Chains A and B, each alone.
Chain A
Amino acid sequence: MGSTGRMVVGAFGLVALAIGFLAVVFLTAPAAPGPDLARAKTSLKGLYSIAIAPESGEPKQGDLHSWVVTVTTRQGAPVDNASFTIGGGMPEHAHGLPTSPEATSYLGDGRYRIEGMKFSMTGWWQLKFGITAPAGADEATFNLVL
């Protein structure tokens, strides 16, 4: 094997080594943290505990469906007479919800039915609930990944 041949092999070897090194660095780097997917949290100003759950099974893309939102005080007492504004959308696509969901009935024990929810695409969605009740106005944002 001539010296040119050795140099060519050596050069390829070095390139391969460098790429391999970079690959290891990228593959072992910590992944970007995903959105917080908790379905129960304290509202922004701390007035309420809010929990959300789909009413019948996990939602499927494109299906109109309902959620149940449970609102309690921080001491755990159910909150009656709450009113809601419901917004949200896809942060990565800069658009809102494809529908206008509404709280349509009070189910008792601080539970409210939210009808008209739809996720028209797969991906990261945000649901923003504005809550107004005798204790004051507050809000909570939930993340969902479909």
Chain B
Amino acid sequence: MNRTSLRRLAMAVSLTALLGGCGQPEFTDVEKRTIALMSLSALAPLPPDPTNRFADDPGAAALGATLFFDTGMSRDGNVACGTCHKIDRQFQDDLPRGIGVAETNRRTMPLAGVARDPFFFWDGRRDSLWSQALVPLENPLEHAGTRTSYAHYIKRRFGERYERIFRPLPDLTGLPANAGPFGAPSERAAWAAMTEKQRDGVDLVFADIGKAMAAFERSLVHMPTRFDRFADALARGTAPAGDAALSEEEEAGLRLFIGKASCSTCHTGPRFTDNHFHNTGVPPVVGLPVDRGRIAVVDEVRADPFNCLGKFRDGDEEACGELRFMQKSSPELIRAYKTPSLRGVAGRAPYMHAGQFATLEQVVDHYAKAAASIEGETEIHPLQLSDRERAALVAFLKTLSD
């Protein structure tokens, strides 16, 4: 064979390989646009929260931070928000289910970017960051405190700070040490025996506690990772290099994530979430109470006295669109849970709303199998994924951590 024939042969081989789709192809323009929209650089500035006029008040945020880490904010003096939302662990606790005064039924959620959510908790049972913060305080498995106990505690420990930020404290003289709508029967009775004015006064202090904590939580943000540096380089048209480079396997995982595996259908945008609720057939945990997800809390969030349409909201009703126009009765809400952000996901096993899966490999396996939901219809369809493709997806997810 002479040199010309050899060259012709080499060209024929490479042409065949190219047309046959072997090797690592470039991202298409459509893929590049999708990837650019997933970069943290594409995240809009945090919008104001007109329902909390202290949302961007530094004094309120500082008090909120103090309260967030204060174990005095619990019945037994051992539990703070920071007990489960650990500051050095992405504000989560690495446990299948959080443990406050006792073990809860749900996985502790990380808090970066939380102020951007329209609804809170895995099932969206609250509609604002400040009303969310109030629920664990009275949950018997979490802080287990009562409403009057928190008002008394604020007056005793932080009275001057509170009044400087918010307003004069109501007269708490003679109010029971422990009374509230969710406590023990005697505590509920004591709450019912208070005058409406007394209850309103305590509720107002309680709402302010939530507003201070929300002001603090608004400062918890996502940090850029290797994926963001890669996406930004791609968007600029420069070759991602150094700490912006993805390996061939990670790139293959990204291509699957936004392509064949359809992960980005829900895990979309810079936060990798559509902020909505979906039934993905995640199995219940044996031994836990029946958990029907979003459908079970529709009435609860609409009836919550601290919701956007209630009297503790600041600003006007215009801000309440998410609550007013939420889905209320669709069968899609059965066993639907929030799409969590995937930023930092590789560093916070276990996964799902009750810690059902120990590893990302198990999560990918669940989505590939797409088992039926025990109630309602899963939105997931079975998917053929090779071992190499599964590994690539997991490799890509890890680029959202470093």
Hey, which bits of chain A sit against chain B, CB under 8 A? 1-2, 5-6, 8-9, 12-13, 15-16, 19-20, 23, 61-62, 64, 93-102, 115-118, 120-123
The reply to whether A1 and B19 contact each other, CB–CB distance below 8 Å, is: no
Contacts of B118 in A (CB 8 A): 64
Contact with A along B118-136 (1 / 0, CB 8 A): 1000000000000000000
Which residues of chain A come closer than 8 Å to B275, judged between CB atoms? 62, 120
- Give A20's nearest chain B residue, CB to CB: B19
Assuming the A-B contacts A12-B16, A19-B20, A93-B379, are A100 and B326 also in contact, with contact meaning beta carbons closer than 8 angstroms in the complex?
A: yes
Tell me which of B1-9, B99-107, B362-370 binds A: B1-9
* Residues in B whose Cβ lies below 8 Å from that of A102: 324-325
Specify which of A9, A95, A101 is in contact with B12 (CB 8 Å cutoff): A9
* Known contacts A5-B5, A13-B12, A62-B275; is-contact A115 B325 (Cβ 8 Å): yes
**A114 closest partner in B (C-beta):** B325
A1 to B325, Cβ gap below 8 A?
Answer: no
Determine the residue in chain B with the shortest Cβ distance to A22. B19
B379 touches A1 (CB 8 A): no
Whether B321 sits at the interface, judged by CB under 8 Å, is yes
- B9→A121 contact, CB < 8 A: no
A8 to chain B, nearest CB (A): 7
State A1–B321 Cα separation when bound (angstroms): 77
Query: Ordered nearest first, which 5 A-B pairs have the shortest CB separation?
Result: A116-B325, A12-B12, A120-B274, A19-B19, A64-B321
Taking a contact as CB atoms closer than 8 A, the residue among A8, A20, A95, A117 that contacts B379 in the complex is A95
Given A120-B275, A121-B268, A121-B274; A64-B322 close (CB under 8 Å): yes
Q: How far is the CB of A58 from chain B (nearest CB, A)?
A: 15
Contact between chains at B274 and A5 (CB < 8 Å): no
Looking at the complex, which one of B266, B268, B327 makes contact with A99 (CB distance below 8 Å)? B327
Q: A2's closest neighbor in chain B, by CB?
A: B1
* CB–CB B1/A5 < 8 A: yes
Please report the C-alpha to C-alpha distance between residue A8 and residue B9 in the assembled complex, in whole angstroms.
8
Partner of B8, one of A9, A23, A101, A117: A9
C-alpha spacing A61/B15, complex, angstroms: 40
Q: Are B9 and A12 in contact (CB under 8 A)?
A: yes
Judging by beta carbons under 8 Å apart, are A19 and B321 in contact?
no
Q: Encode B8-45 as 1/0 by CB contact (under 8 A) with A.
A: 11001101100110000000000000000000000000
Asked if A98 and B268 make an inter-chain contact with CB atoms under 8 angstroms apart, the answer reads no
Q: A123: nearest residue on chain B (CB-CB)?
A: B265
At the interface, yes or no: B188 with Cβ under 8 Å from chain A?
Answer: no
Q: Give Cα distance in the complex from A100 to B19, angstroms.
A: 47
Q: How many Å from the CB of B40 to the closest CB on chain A?
A: 16
A15 touches B16 (CB 8 A): yes
| In contact, B325 and A100 (Cβ under 8 angstroms) | yes
Report chain A residues within 8 Å CB of B9.
5, 8-9, 12
| A124 CA to B324 CA, complexed, in Å | 25
B1/A1 in contact, CB under 8 A: yes
- Rounded to whole angstroms, the CA-CA distance of A99 and B275 in the bound complex is 12
Residue B332 CB within 8 A of the other chain: yes
Instruction: Give chain A nearest CB distance to B12 CB in angstroms.
Output: 4
In the complex, 11 of the A-B residue pairs with CB atoms within 8 angstroms, ordered by the A residue number, are A1-B2, A2-B1, A8-B9, A12-B9, A19-B20, A93-B265, A97-B327, A116-B324, A116-B325, A117-B325, A121-B268
Collect the chain A residues with CB atoms within 8 Å of residue B292's CB. none
With A120-B274, A120-B275 as contacts: A9 and B322 at CB distance below 8 Å:
no
Do A16 and B5 have beta carbons less than 8 Å apart? Answer: no
**What is the minimal beta-carbon distance from A26 to any residue of chain B, in angstroms?**
11
